[in-house]
Structure formats: C-alpha cells, structure tokens
Amino acid sequence: MDLIWEQIRKKALSGENLLKEEALELAEWPLEKLDELLEMSKEIREYFWKKEVSLCSIINARSGLCGEDCIFCAQSSHHNTGIERYPLISPEKALEKAFQMEAAGVRHFSLVTSGRDVTGKDFNKILEIYRILRERTGLELHASLGILNEEKARQLKEAGITTYHHNLETGRNYFKNICTTHSFDDRIATILVARSAGLEICSGGIIGMGETMTDRLEMVLELRELDVKSIPVNILNPIPGTPLENQERLQPEEILKTAAIFRLIHPRATFRLISGRETALKDQQTVALSTSFNGMMVGGYLTLPGEEIKKDLEMLSKAGLSSR
C-alpha cells in the first residue's frame, strides 16, 4: 500500500490523472488511517490552491412544482414536503440578494430555478434579470436553469453568464436509483450544449443517497473526463416528505475520506462544499476546507437557510483560510 500511495501522491502533485484502478484502490483506504489520507489531500490542495476558498451564492429564483421525480429533492411535485412555492422572482428580489452577497465578498452568483427547464416568458425575464445584474454588480454570473438547447445557451452567454451549473448528481450506474424522468445522458447533453456556447461548466452532485464509494468516484471520474473544473459537493440532508427522509446520514469521517479522494482524483478542480455541511460536518467543516475543499457556498441554499454568512466568514478566518 505504501508504494501505491507514493505513486498516487506523485501523480497528484504533477497534475497527472490517476487511473480508475488507482482511484478505486484509494476507496479501500481504512478510516483508521484517515489522518494520513487527509494530510496527503491537504498537501495537494495547498500546492495548487494555497489557503484560498472561492465563495459562491445562489438564489432560488422559482420554487417548487417541479415535474421531475428526483428522490432527494424538496421541490419535486412527486413529494409532499411543505416547502414554499412561488413563480419567478422579480429583478428587485434578485438584485437585493446579489448586493448582499457582493458586499460580503462573494464573487460568483447564480439564479436557480425549479423544473425541467425554463421556457417562454420566464426565460425572457431571466435574461432581463441577468442584464440588470451585469449592469449593477461586479459579480461573476452563473445560471442553473435545467435542460438547455443551443439557442438558450447562446442567449445566456450574450446576457453575461460565464458559467452554467448542471449537476450529474451521482455516478452513471447509480443514477437510475434517484431519478426516472430524465437520464444521466440527458444531463451530459446539457453540459455539452452549454460548453459549445462558450460557457464554463459547474457540475457535481450529492453524497449520502445510499450510493457506494465506487459510485461517488465514478461521478468524479466522469466530471474529470468532461474537464469540469468547478465541482459542488452536497451532503444529503434528508428532507421529510421525500423518499430519502429516513436515509442514514453520513458520518463526518466518511465525508472527509470521500472529499480527500476526490481531491486526489482531480487535483486542479475547485471542489465546493455546499448544502448539508452544517449538520453533517459541524465543527469538522474547517477540516474539510483545510484539507480538500477550496470552495464553499454561502448565503443559504434552495429550500434551507444555511449558516449566517458572517459566521461562515469568521469560520474561514479562524482556520487561517482566505476567501476569494
């Protein structure tokens, strides 16, 4: 194991891709030796990213009534979760949160809409909101609007969007267990459409949905193959009313191990610690950010409030990390 370990370390530091077999070898790393794995991940993280943490934020721009059946999602019309439902927000509402996040030091801001896609008048309104955000803020603008076609992708690019977010959610082989109303390849297709329009890609998923470590590694290997450089990692926070409401939560050690292996598989990527971090990791968030993650979402999530941004910034400062 020591020889294999040293080979993996050298590859990661050089930016050379690990083979799938080497990644799967890491999956067998015992939790009793987690500190060694985290130390290696930290070395790679700081080699490429120093102690910086990229901050991003979103606003739930259209909530609920989604026809897709993703088993983890509070916004699916297939589940009774009691969340607030509302149509597309106003430009004023989007601008209010954008100003708050920019003042706190956030650089990346995205509108996120529920539903399979955005069409007609709503899509035109989205474009107008982005034009206003581009004119009145200095934020880098991202979008997460579901499935895209070439024309919509082109229009988003022209409106000032730099990055399109569309999660794979999990590995290819496990995807059928979490959604039946669209396929894994549908998600790949949207990523390729967005990229063809000149948009950067942000894509990741959720851990803790009952998948194996191999499923998680398959997701990251696929994202590396797609050359995705921004990878959000959510930790399932089981929501009452969804099929996963009784799913056993991941332990912090399992999350830290997963994140460390992700870092070694894709050393140059920005791995973003997203929803579920507060309840799943608690005071271990700083360990995750210091050793593996170099990005974090602040300012709340889609249907969950998250931590106050002031406390998140204090947490980074106490850990000796700087936001960018």
Over residues 59-84, the mean pLDDT reads 92
pLDDT in tens, 280-294: 999 999 999 999 999
In CATH, what is the architecture of 32-323? Alpha-Beta Barrel (3.20)
pLDDT band, residue 24 (cuts 50/70/90):
confident
Is residue 18 predicted with pLDDT exceeding 60?
yes
Extract the tokens encoding 248: 């056993």
Report how far residue 163's alpha carbon sits from residue 141's, in angstroms, rounded to the nearest whole number: 7
pLDDT band, residue 2 (cuts 50/70/90):
low
* More confident of the two residues 303 and 265: 265
3-state secondary structure of 144: strand
Q: Are 141 and 160 in contact (CB under 8 A)?
A: yes
| Range in 122-131, 162-171, 197-206, 298-307 the model is least confident about | 298-307
Residues present in the chain in total: 324
pLDDT band, residue 1 (cuts 50/70/90):
low
Question: For 219-254, b where at least 16 C-beta lie within 10 A, e where not — what string?
Answer: bbbbbbeeebbbbbbbbbbbbeebbbeebeebebeb
In the chain, domain spans: 32-323
Over residues 164-181, the mean pLDDT reads 97
Over residues 158-177, the mean pLDDT reads 97
pLDDT in tens, 245-289: 999 999 999 999 999 999 999 999 999 999 999 999 999 999 999
Question: For 3-21, b where at least 16 C-beta lie within 10 A, e where not — what string?
Answer: eebeebeebbeeeebbeee
pLDDT in tens, 138-159: 999 999 999 999 999 999 999 9
Is residue 3 predicted with pLDDT exceeding 80?
no
Whole-number average pLDDT of the chain? 94
